[in-house]
Every structure is written in structure tokens, then in C-alpha cells.
Amino acid sequence: MTLYPRSFLQLILIGWLLVALPLLAAIAFAWHSLDGIAERGDAVVEQASLAGRIGWEMPEHLTHMERSVLQFEVLHTETLLEDYAEERAQWRKEADELGRIPLATALAGRVAAMLASEDTAYRAAVANINQAAALREVLGHLRAETTTLLEELGQRVKAERESFRAETTMLRQRLLVGLAAAFALAALLFWFGRHLLARLLSRFERAVLALGQNRLDRRIRLKGPRDLQWVGSRLDWLRRRLLGLETERTRILRHVSHELKTPLAALREGASLLNEGVAGPLSPQQARIASIMQGNVLRLQALIDGLLKMQQAGHVRDRIEPVVVRLDQLIQQILVTHQLATRDKRLHISGTLAPLAVEGGREELTTVLDNLIANAIKFSPEDHLVRVTLSSEAEQAVVNVTDQGPGVPESDRDKIFEPFFRSPATRSVAGVGLGLAIARELVLAHQGSLDLLPSDTGCHFRLALPLANAAT
């Protein structure tokens, strides 16, 4: 079972949070890594600075200590030992600091040995003035040892700097890889969220389109957050309401049509008898009135028949008995039935018909094609061209019917398939405005499409139907 948050807004917020999480994790990793490298950098700089200061001061103190011992050997003055003791204290303090530097941990034992050898020689010189020369000799060894220690410490500092630089470079590479991975993961999560959102919205769109196309037989049920499910329940309520209204409309239309047929048949028979003079000869004025009555009765009969066909077309999908129909042969048969009207208007019929077959109801497809061809002939001026073509495009049989009649204004193109609509340019020609509406309903029942395409002159209708699996 798919789990969704309670509301659509929560779904969007959770999606943004999931997208932001990899970036936040990358930022936290970068912050922690940079903080650690900064601390280590500070430590390296501090140790290098301390080693540099000690490396400069310790030889200076040793120089002063040697000078004091040398003067003491010559002058035997006690104050010179006091000067030596002061320099000695500073030297020992800096030696202790040198031993405590982390980079010089491995040198701590040698520093301690230096301090011990100086202390032994110093105590011996204090106890016996004749040991001053020995102390001076020890100080000379300490100077050489100090120089060696400081050189080794400098090498250790340099090695630490190189290690720090290499680690910085590696960290930079890791950060780049981490940021790239974070952005990739964020992009993947964004794509997944967009795909999920698009899927939810596409379900909503399909439900609305089903209502708009009068496909009311399937229950509407939207998955997703609760508010989207609530919208789905409202749409399903609307579907049921429309279905009830459609059923009621069909019932009323069937009832009214049936009730009108009986008196209409009587009126038509009466008008016909009057026109034929069965009730006696008519004056010219009476004959004209009877002719008007008969014409309007026939028009009303065509209107009722059109309404019944329109009502049946909306439910024809369940009643279609599919057979394989060769469209090229069907078009040729329809053109034959209109030969008289074509000859009277001296029209030229042209076009190529590919041998293509579709699967559907023969009667319904005949109604669609007859409507398109009859309209093209009816609205074409005399001595003009009507073009009918049949070709294959993307697994569909495509019929194009074009004429050179008055055409349809741009403002009326969206209304041309509505019931009872007639363009002002065509109202001079007899008709009730139901033919194209019926044709489109029948085409939709065959999973096809019927469109009015833009044309410089006249009308251009395009009919597309799925090709049959096998042509006859």
C-alpha cells in the first residue's frame, strides 16, 4: 500500500525536504572537515612558530653561557656564575618547551639527556672551580647537539606541512566528490518527486478529460494525499450526477421524439395529400402554403431523426459490431452515391486512396464519411474542386477532405462540432447542424479523431482511425 501525507502541501514540503537533505548533509560534512583541517592548520602554524623561536633563542643562550664560563675561568668572579645561572635558567626553560612540542616528541629523550649532562657539569663546576673547563667543553657539545636537534625539528615541521598540504588536497577532492554526489542524489530525488507529482496530476487530468468527453461509465478514484482523494470523490459525485442527467436527458429525448413522430407523420401525410390535390384542386396561394407546410414538416422530421441519431451516437461504443472495413472501397461507394449532386454542380473530385483497412462498425463509418463528403459537395460552389485522400500515418488511416466553399471563420472553429451550431457563412444551405456532432461522436467511439484544420480556402477536415491488424 502506498503511503501519502495528509495534504498535497505536506507532500510538496516533504519533497523539498528530501531534496534538501543531501545538500544539507554535504554542507555539514564540509563544515566539519574544514573545521578539523583549520584546527590542524592552526596547530601546525603554532608549533612551527614555537620551534622557530626556540631555534633562534637556544643557541643565543648557549653562547652567553659559554662566554660566562670562559670569563669565570679567567677572572674567577662569582658574579659571572650568577650571569651563567640566569642564562642557564632561560636555556633550560626553552629546552623544556622544545621537548613538549608535539612534533618533537621523538626528540624528548635527547633533550632530557642534554639537560642532564649540562646539570652534571654545572654542579661539578660550582663545587670545584677547576671543573669550569669541563663545563665549557660540555656546552660546546650541547651547541652541536642543539643544532642537530633543531635541524631535525625543522625537517619534521616541513614534513608536517607537506602532510597538511596533501591532506588539504585530498579533503578538497573528497568535498568535490561529496558535493557532486549530494547534487546527484538531490537531482534524483527531485526527479522522483516530479515524477510522483506528475503522476498524481495526470490522474486528475485524465479524470477531468473523461468527464469532458462524456466517458461516465468508469468510477473516478484518485490516489494520493487526502485532499486529492477528496477531490476525486467530488469528481466521482459529479460523474454520477452527470450520468443521471444524461440518462434522464436520453429518456426525455426518446419519449419526446416518440410522441412527436405520430402527429408529425399525420401532418406530413396531410400536407402530401394536399399537394397532390386529393382533397380537390388548390388555388396557387393554397398550393404555396401547402408546399411550405410540407417543407417544414420534412425539416422537422430530419431534425427529430438527427436528435435520435445524436442520442444513439453517444452510446454507440457498446453497440458497435467491429468488422474489417476497407476505407478506400467504402469512400468509392460513397462517392458513387453522390454522383448526381456532383454532376449537377459540375464538381471535380480528385485525390488518391491507399488500400487501407480499419476495424469498426461499417454503418457508423459510412455515416461519418458520408457526412464529410456530402458537406464538401453541398458547400462547394459550382465548377470547383473537392479533394479526398486516404493515407497511412503512424499506424493510423488518415482521411483528408477539402473543399473550396465559404469555409469556417476562425472564431467559429471551436464550435463547429457542437450540436445545432451552424456558421453564418453556411446558413443559406439547408441543414440542422447535427451532422458533424454525430460524426465526431462516432469517431471517438472508434478511438479516432476528427478535426477541422486551418485552410486558406474552404474547409479541410482530417479523420484519423487506428489501422486494423490485417487488411483484406
- pLDDT per residue as tens, the chain (472 positions): 456 666 656 667 776 777 677 777 777 777 777 677 777 777 777 777 777 777 777 788 888 887 877 777 777 766 777 777 888 888 888 888 777 777 677 777 887 888 888 888 878 877 777 777 787 788 788 888 888 877 877 787 778 778 777 777 777 777 777 777 777 777 777 777 777 777 777 877 888 887 776 677 778 887 777 777 777 788 888 888 887 877 776 677 666 666 666 676 777 777 777 777 766 777 778 778 777 777 777 777 766 666 666 665 555 555 677 889 999 999 999 999 988 888 888 888 888 899 999 988 888 889 889 988 988 888 888 888 899 999 998 889 999 999 988 888 777 777 777 776 666 555 555 555 677 888 888 888 888 898 888 887 888 899 999 998 744 4
Question: Which among 313, 346, 377 is the end of a domain?
Answer: 313
Question: Which among 151, 173, 193 is the end of a domain?
Answer: 193
Asked if residue 438 and residue 352 are part of one domain, the reply reads yes
Tell me if residue 417 falls in helix, strand or coil. coil
Give CA–CA dist 74/68, Å, rounded.
10
Asked if residue 89 and residue 238 are part of one domain, the reply reads no
Domain-embedded: residue 142: yes
Could you give the C-alpha distances from 469 to 360, 364, 389, 395, 450, in angstroms and in order?
12, 19, 21, 10, 21
Strand-pairing partners, residue 324, are 359
pLDDT at 203: 79
Question: Which among 249, 284, 313 is the end of a domain?
Answer: 313
Asked if residue 343 and residue 296 are part of one domain, the reply reads no
Asked if residue 101 and residue 121 are part of one domain, the reply reads yes
Range of the domain at 302: 226-313
Asked if residue 180 and residue 75 are part of one domain, the reply reads yes
Domain-embedded: residue 345: yes
Pairing of strands 357-360, 323-326: antiparallel
Domain-embedded: residue 216: no
Domain-embedded: residue 20: yes
Domain-embedded: residue 445: yes
Domain-embedded: residue 217: no
Asked if residue 247 and residue 353 are part of one domain, the reply reads no
Phi and psi at 461, nearest 5°, equal -100, 140
Asked if residue 358 and residue 297 are part of one domain, the reply reads no
pLDDT at 425: 54
Sign of CA dihedral 258, 263, 267, 268: positive
Asked if residue 185 and residue 267 are part of one domain, the reply reads no
pLDDT at 258: 64
pLDDT at 248: 75
CATH number at residue 329: 3.30.565.10
Asked if residue 451 and residue 326 are part of one domain, the reply reads yes
Asked if residue 324 and residue 256 are part of one domain, the reply reads no
Domain-embedded: residue 221: no
Q: How big is the CA angle at 456 (ends 405 and 349), to the nearest 5 degrees? A: 45
Rounded to the nearest 10 degrees, how much is the dihedral formed by the CA atoms of 288, 293, 298, 302?
130
Domain count, the chain: 3
Asked if residue 331 and residue 275 are part of one domain, the reply reads no
CB 257 within 8 A of CB 308: yes
CB 369 within 8 A of CB 333: no
CATH number at residue 280: 1.10.287
* End-to-end Cα spacing for the chain: 48
Q: How big is the CA angle at 271 (ends 377 and 435), to the nearest 5 degrees? A: 30
Q: In sequence order, which ranges of 277-338 are alpha helices (DSSP H)? A: 284-313, 327-337
Nearest Cα to Cα of residue 424 among 412, 437, 414, 434: 412
Sign of CA dihedral 165, 168, 170, 176: negative
pTM over the 0.85 mark: no
Asked if residue 54 and residue 115 are part of one domain, the reply reads yes
Q: What is the CA radius of gyration of the chain?
A: 52
Domain-embedded: residue 357: yes
